[in-house]
Structure 1
Amino acid sequence: MTLLERADDLRLLTGALERVRAGRGDRIVIAGPLGSGKSALLAALADRAEDCHVLTATCSLLERDFAFGVARQLFDPVLAGGCADLLTGPAGLARPVFEEDTADDSAFAVQDAANSGLIALTRAMSARRPVLLLIDDLQWVDEPSRRWLVALSATPGDHPVLLVVATRDVESGFLECTAIRPEPLSRGAIAKLVEQRTGRRPDDEFVAACHAVTDGNPMFLRAVLQHITSPSADQVPHVLELRPARLRERLVRDFAAQPRHAQDFARAVAVLGDDELAGRLAGLTEAQAAQAQRILDQAGLVLSRPVIRDAIEESMPVAEREDWQHRAVKVLHDNGRPAEQVAARLLAAGSAHGRWAVETLGEAAATALRRGAPEVAARYLRRALRDVPAESEQRARLLVDLATAERFFDPAASVRHITAAVPLFRTVEQRAAALVRIAPTALGSAPRPVRDLIDDVAASLGHDQELAHRLEARQRYVWHSDPALLADSAERLQQIGGTTPGERELQIVLLEAAMLTARLPAHRVADIGLAVLKQEPPHPRQVHTALPLLIKVLATADAAAETVPWLDQAFAQAGGSVEQALILAQQSFVHMHLGRPGEARAAAERAVDLAVLDWRGDTTTAAVGLMAVAIDLREPDLIARVVASRPDRDEPPGVEAVYRMLHAAGAATAGDYRQALDHLLDCGRVFDAIGWRNPVLLPWCVLTARLHAQLGDLAAAQDFAAQAWERAVEWGAPLGVGRALCMLGRYTPGAQGLGMVREAVEVLHANPFERAKALLQLGARERADGSGSGQQHLRLAYQLAVESGAQRLASRIARELDGNSPGTVVVLTRAEYKVARLVVRGLTNAEIAEELDVTSRAIEKHLTNSFRKLGIRRRTELPGALARACPPTA
């Protein structure tokens, strides 16, 4: 609507865009009154700049006091989206701008350095792609951002940076730029817009009336047309009564002419909105407020129209507006409004309000957390921090509460705020209680000062055994890459009873150490782990505790089955995408170790889709799990997605080696076996050096054996398969034993090798995916030897592969089945087969559901899956199709 008659303006903007694509910078101001179409021009320019970095910001009157608020609007999405590496060199001077706790005073103190850093950051971005900085409502820019923009506009235009700002005429003078001033719409343009809005060609008198009352302002015209149904001449009086002509100037002038109590009421409504307390804020009785409302309505100042409220608020000087905001907050608080409603107002109020405001913000934050809105809670707590003394315990408590909220969306910031709070507490017990708010898993990449702080507090702690155990859990997790400190984990585990939450937390960390080092057998680790899990109720908050480590341990110890309902219940309660994604990553790992690759792949893809790997902190456990799934599945797309989401930060040696395994898997799927082998041998050296020997979580020996065979070195393949077998027997989990035994049998000739594969099939009886792979080897070798059982084993392997969702493996097995395609051998699950047989008997879905004691929805799901596998669409086709299907095994 607002781009009609804007061809010249768009031509100027497009020309500037072409120049910036050619490497030359420019600065443009789009200046004009409220509603003249400035924002539409910015949006049109953004649409034409798909090949550029387009950074946008909208200045706000309520955010004018937040230092560098506009700069943060522009750059925060870029830095959060994986470009934090730009904050190096000269651009690093801008880092304080993006610190969460940067107060206004300190922001002003580093103004010159920050300006230089922001300019350097902009140029660093432009070295990759041309940069467009699009800023709307510049008249409300915060002062530090304004100074930066002035400095930026004064720099030479030898970098591909285009700065385009939209502002009111009276505020455009501080930038030296090319100016665009959108002209008012002509009568012809108004006629076109009226016809678009109403679907009818307007009468000339109607168009003239619209032009008279709007003066060609697109926004005011839109306001008029919202009240019009017919663009005919008889509507002219109605249009004239709406009185939006030269609205901004007229509103201010008319407003100034009203009685004082009406003005106060209008200001109260502009600040507070349609709230019954507006009259009380204005200091009026109910009768006086009603009278003021009538006076304003009669004057055409209808306060329900946002544009009128904006004009009234604009007419107020800054100091007066802040005073009204302050009073509004107090009125809401004193009249018992919910804490979150008061807190939302406090966010907009610049001045301090005292103890009651801090308490209200804290209460609002607690409410927001309970309803699953941690980011809202964090905003309230950051606002509260502005009103408390810098070195007080009250600040420490707020920082701990803020860190608790941030665990849900920014674990790295959570660690920073906890460590900032600890020195402010007076007693060592308070400091310890604050430190244990940090999940052990968040400390794998924590800076050394954080680790030293935990050690110092632990050394000073008295007789509080609960806190001592929880601190020890954090200390030991940090040691997981130190073989000397890992060595006594199994022994220490025997000394812990697991009767308190602190003991169980320490048990989990010690169990992971015992699992990584394989110093305790899998069955012993599983027994202790399951006992711990039974005492921990499922909840989505478990993703911010040590419990993800326990899920990984149990799956690696072949005890994953009991974790499935536990994780299902936790996921059902999860509200935030981060929690959901982290639980999905755990579910993917569990499904893979239960032999359900189809479900594992689906959960892993959902986890990545939910952006779990934003890598701001406590996601290493999830990452290791997803990498293990990607390696087992050998899915190129999944491997690439997990690799691409890797954080740009230093990781402990063990985690770095797991990443190297993932790169090896990617190289192997691409056919680069030599590079993949080099990666794996490097991994093995690291794992052995730090004492990580678990063959299930870290199957590098099995993978290395396969790669040696693919490169033609069968002797080396057999050696590594034997090494994998030795480690698997040491750990004792059937999955590891069966997998290694199958690989060793594959590269051992004759009857001895065949016997190993047969034994692997038996060991892997509980894992359909791994058993299908072993059966494939067994069937292929038996058939090559002329044995009649080979075909039977291949058919069973195909059935298990299909049932587990391993489509790639099923296709391989189908090719072994005398060249048959996957569609020739159709296998239904036991539940699908049973439901299909009952349908053939003539039972309805409801009758089948009653007989099997399940829901009708479950019956529909089984039938849908069966129809898809059998290639049919109707129930009448089922008898013939079922006769061709392979019955499931008992």
Structure 2
Amino acid sequence: MSGRAAGAEHLATALRAGVGSFVTVRGPMGSGKSELLRGVAAQAGGVVVLRASGDPAERGWDYGVVEQLRPVPDGFVVVLVDDLQWADPSSVRWLIGLASRALVVAALREGEPGAGALPGSVVRLPALPSVVWSARRVAECMRRQPESVRDVARAVAVLGRHAEVELVSALTGLDEGVCGSAVRTLRALGFVTAQGRPQFVAQAVADAVVLESADDCHRAAAVLLHERGRPVAHVADHLVASGAPLDEWAVEVLREAARTGPNAVTYLRRAVVGPGRAATLVDLAVAECGTNTLLALQHLCYAVELLPAGRARAEAVLKIPVTALGTALPLVRDVLDDVGRDVREPDLVVRLEARARYAGHTDPSELVDATARLKAVGPDSDAERELLAVLAHSATLQARTPAHEIAALAEHLLARSPTAEMTRLLVKVLCAADSPPAAVTDGLVAAHVGDLAEARRLTARALDGPVGQDALLDLAAVALKLQDEQLCARLLAAVPSEVDNPGTAAALDLVRGADAAARGDSPGGLRLLLDAGARLDRLGWRNVVLFPWRTAAARLHQQLGNVDAARILAEENLERALEWGAPAGIGRARRVLGGLTDGAESLDLLQSAMDALSQSANRVELARTHLTLGLRLRERSGPAAAAHLQACHDIALTCGDHRLARQAATHLRGDVRRADLTRTERKVVALAAQGRSNQEIAEALSVGTRTVEKHLTNSYRKLGVVSRADLASAFNHPF
């Protein structure tokens, strides 16, 4: 059937039928095939939609398109494949078989090699009347055509309105039958008019066809520059611009340029179609780890299949950063199992184990096993130290081994000049154990010790460039410590639509929850924190220093008037903090629980928090505890309260936490900053200070409880208090 409307209706009918079928959408370049596929996806409703596209550079990769679709869930699904003319034959056969239980809609560009007949129904689309032609796409299309089609196209472009078949034949040296066949191909592509003397449909197309010979020019330039010893990047740029086949020297130039320049992925994607494909695929996988880990691992899989079993495969896997193996976990484990089966050299076995252990860091049972394995490995070789760093990281996430033991091991490993990657893991371990290394420049270290300006600077610099998924977890940990709304917003804006590592995804949701609460949405923030925290618990990630979600959620429960729920979370958090043993975690846990308790018990908890934090490197947490204790002491001992508030103010200023310093200064002056409260906030605070519940306040002011919650959250921040119990004192006390 022909026409856009008829085609859309046909596809809608096939979708509603819910049974397997194969539909081909055919048309020239610029006919709206991709848009029609997007329309099918929009109408799919609750049906799973899988997408893939062909690529001319991957036609020789068996099941290349299929790899984009797997895994395919059971039952009826919709599969949308763009540019099927470039798919490998194995993928095409697989898609035809899948059509027995799926609606497979495949778009093909007419006139391209590979756009032959296929089973099922066909939707034919004419060219759109107002196509904006891309010279690059036209030129790329022409490169894939037989030489006779290219010669005829150039002749038609040169002859213009005089492009009679006889003249075209004379100019190209081809007989009229071959010329006629070439013209039919150009018409199928949508480049020339459908009737009469062949004419290009737009001048832009004719210009692009003439420029198609630029391939030869770029290749000649690459050869000349290479022979004259010019920089490899200059040579590589010409090789990328040329679609000509690559010789061995050209592949080596591209790989060398990738090692020394910023455009590594571009150079290696061009080189991968030349000789030595396996080695180039490994280099490409390494280059892609920083921006697209999943694609990097797929390319590593292709490389492993091309390499001989044993050492060669192991060395290829070992070039991939350990932390890149925390995504696409089933794929990673399959590769590691396959490669490790044929490796016998002890160091290679240990280094492969390190990667397998890291790939298992989101499996609770493997975390338990990793903690046990930690005691059986000695730090005698580089390979064993690498494994120990990974095991220490796993033990830190689980937080069942005492922090001081893990810290001692990490400090020993850090002193042995580990790789930059292992250093990052060990820094995270030491910060979680409250023993941050003084000699390392790192955002997490700066945030932990209270150098907030440096932490912000380093985090902002990291966010200025591409952020790989392996870096997101560290940045999330820093964001949770800094509580900086602008940095949180930048971090969340840098997060890809899908995060493959479930632990990293949960940590980022903690950031979203904290950010929502900071913007006044306490209920929404609480929901995010509780959901993300439950997911972390299921993964076995129990570390209260890295992931302080229970204390944050407890404070939000408290603000919303759910004191019992807040105490349960705070007590659970203290139990875990004591098990891990890091002073920063214990101090924070006792501070939050002390804020939920009244009388002497509250003061005892807060004083014990001070005692723990006196042994901690976390100076901001110490300042917060001074503030909480100072507020609690105001009714009992004015001088003691003032001393704690002054200590909070001084420490906060030194750390660069100006918001905390302002809160302390507010209470030191005895100024509750009523001028900052809106009229409605003053009414809400006054009623809350009298002991009214949120529901009672809502009824008294004829507003909803969500409105009351929002006003209270804003008032807590402005008044510098952390609990409802302190609200009356902050609002009424003459300090």
Please, what TM-score do these two structures have when normalized by structure 2? Answer: 0.64
CA contact (8 A) 1:522 1:733 kept: yes
Letter in 2 for 1:697: L
- 1:431 is aligned to 313
> What's the offset of the Cα at 1:652?
4.2
Residues 738 and 347 of structure 1: CA distance in aligned 2, closer, same or farther (over 3 Å): same
- 2:95 is aligned to none
> What's the offset of the Cα at 1:181?
9.3
Aligned with residue 600 of structure 2, among 731, 735, 751: 751
CA contact (8 A) 1:596 1:768 kept: no
| CA distance, structure 1, for counterparts of residue 625 and residue 571 of structure 2 | 17
Deviations 1:409-452 (A, max 9, x none): 44333222211111211231111111122222212221523321
- 1:352 is aligned to 245
| CA distance, structure 2, for counterparts of residue 167 and residue 804 of structure 1 | 72
Alignment of 1:242-321 (within 5 A): 318=213
| Structure 2, unpaired ranges of 5+ | 6-28, 65-82, 88-104, 111-129, 146-156, 162-185, 674-735
Residues 501 and 110 of structure 1: CA distance in aligned 2, closer, same or farther (over 3 Å): same
> What's the offset of the Cα at 1:115?
4.2
Aligned with residue 251 of structure 2, among 352, 356, 361: 361
| CA distance, structure 2, for counterparts of residue 817 and residue 168 of structure 1 | 88
| CA distance, structure 1, for counterparts of residue 373 and residue 137 of structure 2 | 64
| Structure 1, unpaired ranges of 5+ | 1-23, 25-69, 118-131, 148-165, 183-310, 389-393, 568-586, 613-617, 823-890
**3-state SS of paired residue (2:536):** helix
Aligned with residue 510 of structure 1, among 375, 388, 391: 391
- 1:490 is aligned to 371
CA contact (8 A) 2:326 2:501 kept: yes
> What's the offset of the Cα at 1:404?
2.8
| CA distance, structure 1, for counterparts of residue 245 and residue 517 of structure 2 | 61
Aligned with residue 140 of structure 2, among 135, 139, 142: 142
- 2:535 is aligned to 686
Deviations 1:144-184 (A, max 9, x none): 6999xxxxxxxxxxxxxxxxxx99977996379999999xx
> What's the offset of the Cα at 1:322?
6.0
Residues 526 and 343 of structure 1: CA distance in aligned 2, closer, same or farther (over 3 Å): same
Q: Does 1:608 align with 2:566?
A: no
- 1:566 is aligned to 440
Q: Does 1:774 align with 2:625?
A: yes
> What's the offset of the Cα at 1:767?
2.6
CA contact (8 A) 1:811 1:821 kept: no
Q: Does 1:554 align with 2:444?
A: no
**3-state SS of paired residue (1:484):** helix
CA contact (8 A) 1:94 1:114 kept: no
| CA distance, structure 1, for counterparts of residue 644 and residue 557 of structure 2 | 27
| CA distance, structure 2, for counterparts of residue 322 and residue 363 of structure 1 | 18
Residues 316 and 602 of structure 1: CA distance in aligned 2, closer, same or farther (over 3 Å): closer
Deviations 1:665-723 (A, max 9, x none): 23322333334333333334333333222111121221232122212233433332222
Letter in 1 for 2:514: A
Aligned with residue 521 of structure 1, among 380, 402, 408: 402
- 2:283 is aligned to 401
CA contact (8 A) 1:589 1:629 kept: yes
| CA distance, structure 1, for counterparts of residue 215 and residue 482 of structure 2 | 60
**3-state SS of paired residue (1:796):** helix
Residues 590 and 168 of structure 1: CA distance in aligned 2, closer, same or farther (over 3 Å): farther
Deviations 1:284-321 (A, max 9, x none): xxxxxxxxxxxxxxxxxxxxxxxxxxx9x999994xx7
| CA distance, structure 2, for counterparts of residue 168 and residue 407 of structure 1 | 50
| CA distance, structure 2, for counterparts of residue 475 and residue 530 of structure 1 | 23
- 1:696 is aligned to 545
| CA distance, structure 1, for counterparts of residue 320 and residue 139 of structure 2 | 37
> What's the offset of the Cα at 1:792?
2.1
**3-state SS of paired residue (2:327):** coil
Q: Does 1:762 align with 2:617?
A: no
Structure 1 stretch displaced more, 467-476 or 492-501: 492-501
> What's the offset of the Cα at 1:512?
1.3
- 2:268 is aligned to 381
Greater Cα radius of gyration, structure 1 or 2: 1
> What's the offset of the Cα at 1:140?
5.9
Residues 484 and 167 of structure 1: CA distance in aligned 2, closer, same or farther (over 3 Å): farther
- 1:638 is aligned to 487
> What's the offset of the Cα at 1:408?
4.4
Alignment of 1:122-271 (within 5 A): 134-135=132-133, 137=135, 141-143=139-141, 174=192
- 1:230 is aligned to none
CA contact (8 A) 2:255 2:280 kept: no
Alignment of 1:717-728 (within 5 A): 717-728=566-577
CA contact (8 A) 1:489 1:514 kept: yes
Letter in 2 for 1:423: E
Residues 758 and 429 of structure 1: CA distance in aligned 2, closer, same or farther (over 3 Å): same
Q: Does 1:590 align with 2:455?
A: no
| CA distance, structure 2, for counterparts of residue 636 and residue 473 of structure 1 | 36
Letter in 2 for 1:751: A
Aligned with residue 110 of structure 1, among 86, 89, 114: 86
Aligned with residue 733 of structure 1, among 571, 582, 585: 582
CA contact (8 A) 1:91 1:116 kept: no
Identity of aligned residues (%): 35
Q: Does 1:599 align with 2:489?
A: no
- 1:814 is aligned to 665
Letter in 1 for 2:666: R
| CA distance, structure 1, for counterparts of residue 493 and residue 415 of structure 2 | 37
Letter in 1 for 2:665: A
**3-state SS of paired residue (1:638):** helix
CA contact (8 A) 1:340 1:365 kept: no
CA contact (8 A) 2:432 2:545 kept: yes
Deviations 1:27-77 (A, max 9, x none): xxxxxxxxxxxxxxxxxxxxxxxxxxxxxxxxxxxxxxxxxxx99xxx9xx
Aligned with residue 470 of structure 1, among 351, 362, 366: 351
> What's the offset of the Cα at 1:454?
0.9
- 2:636 is aligned to 785
CA contact (8 A) 2:293 2:327 kept: no
**3-state SS of paired residue (2:597):** coil
> What's the offset of the Cα at 1:494?
1.7
Alignment of 1:17-166 (within 5 A): 95-97=53-55, 101=58, 109-110=85-86, 113-115=106-108, 134-135=132-133, 137=135, 141-143=139-141
**3-state SS of paired residue (1:511):** helix
Q: How many residues align?
A: 540
Residues 745 and 360 of structure 1: CA distance in aligned 2, closer, same or farther (over 3 Å): same
CA contact (8 A) 2:192 2:200 kept: no
| CA distance, structure 2, for counterparts of residue 518 and residue 414 of structure 1 | 31
**3-state SS of paired residue (1:142):** helix
RMSD: 4.4
CA contact (8 A) 1:108 1:144 kept: no
CA contact (8 A) 1:705 1:716 kept: yes
> What's the offset of the Cα at 1:515?
0.5
Letter in 1 for 2:440: W
